[in-house]
Amino acid sequence: MRKTKQREVILDELMQLHTHPSADELYERVKKRLPRISLGTVYRNLDMLSREGIIRRLDTAGSQKRFDADTGDHQHICCVGCGRIDDLAAGAGRARCDTRVAKGTGYRVLGRRIEYLGICPACGKKTGRR
Amino acid sequence: MRKTKQREVILDELMQLHTHPSADELYERVKKRLPRISLGTVYRNLDMLSREGIIRRLDTAGSQKRFDADTGDHQHICCVGCGRIDDLAAGAGRARCDTRVAKGTGYRVLGRRIEYLGICPACGKKTGRR
DNA sequence: TTATTATCAGTAATGGTTACTATTACTAAT
DNA sequence: ATTAGTAATAGTAACCATTACTGATAATAA
């Protein structure tokens, strides 16, 4: 991966933001520093950077993908009013409860969206592993 | 909401499936019974039915929205291999753990995707409630 | 320097979803 | 039952987020 001005600015802006921006939000920011940059370049670099593990593409619900410069293990809280996403302090997650989250973020906590992830029986057979 | 043949068939097919189909998967099914139906009609009816609380639009990660005729409180497990989504047995969720989920579904459980949901401080001020 | 080629800007194409429009067919009131 | 009013429909265009393409540019190695 070559070092380019575009990638440098994209990563720098993402690291400054703690708002988990979408590609076009980031594009608007970056455009102020590199007016000739194209949206495609932003998408391509976000893709490269996340493949390399330098940033994270968030698997949140919603129509747009969001990106996070913090690759550490942490969770998010999403505002059902405005869509804003904030970080939850890391920590194995065991002892975390709604009141603790509320205290840490200032949110009124309404609930949790939980999906389990795994390998289904059919796919498990294919790879051999169980 | 008037009673139409299209809506009846769409709902009937969705209730028969336990695979949480996307709109176009459902469209392919319904087309076998109503060959002249249009994809837009499927989308419109899924939207109406979920607004009325008759079905559920799932807020899962992924590029396509999925729908579920089971509106009861339950969670899902998603296969990272093929994208298949299965139901987890309802139950307050407290005592649920990976081994229990694995036993119930046959999946090899890899992890959980958790998002907290709430009202952020700014939105909380607007509505007055805390 | 120069050659190589990854990356770029600009734009077209794609996939999922929603919006529009003239037509059809439920439903309620005659 | 007939009619009038109007949801809902089929078909299609538009929309939005994202990806793919193409010729030009610029980062790196020789």
pLDDT (tens digit, 9 = 90+) per residue, A29-78? Answer: 999 999 999 999 999 999 999 999 999 999 888 899 999 999 999 999 99
Q: Cα–Cα distance between A53 and A55 in angstroms, integer?
A: 5
Query: Looking at residue A22, what DSSP letter applies?
Result: B
Global pTM reads 0.89
Q: How many residues does chain B have?
A: 130
Question: What digits encode the pLDDT tens for the residues B91-112?
Answer: 645 446 889 999 999 999 999 9
Phi, psi of B19 (to 5 degrees): -105, 5
Question: Which of A93, A116, A126 lies closest to B75 in CB terms?
Answer: A116
Question: How far in angstroms lies nucleotide D11's C1' from the CA of residue B47?
Answer: 19
Please give the protein residue whose CA is closest to the C1' of the nucleotide D28.
A2
Contact B92, B98 (CB under 8 A): no
Chain B residues inside the 8 Å CB shell of A60: 61, 115
Q: Cα–Cα distance between B130 and B126 in angstroms, integer?
A: 10
Question: What digits encode the pLDDT tens for the residues A3-24?
Answer: 999 999 999 999 999 999 999 9
Say if residue A62 is exposed, middle or buried (CB neighbours under 10 Å; 0-12, 13-18, 19+): middle
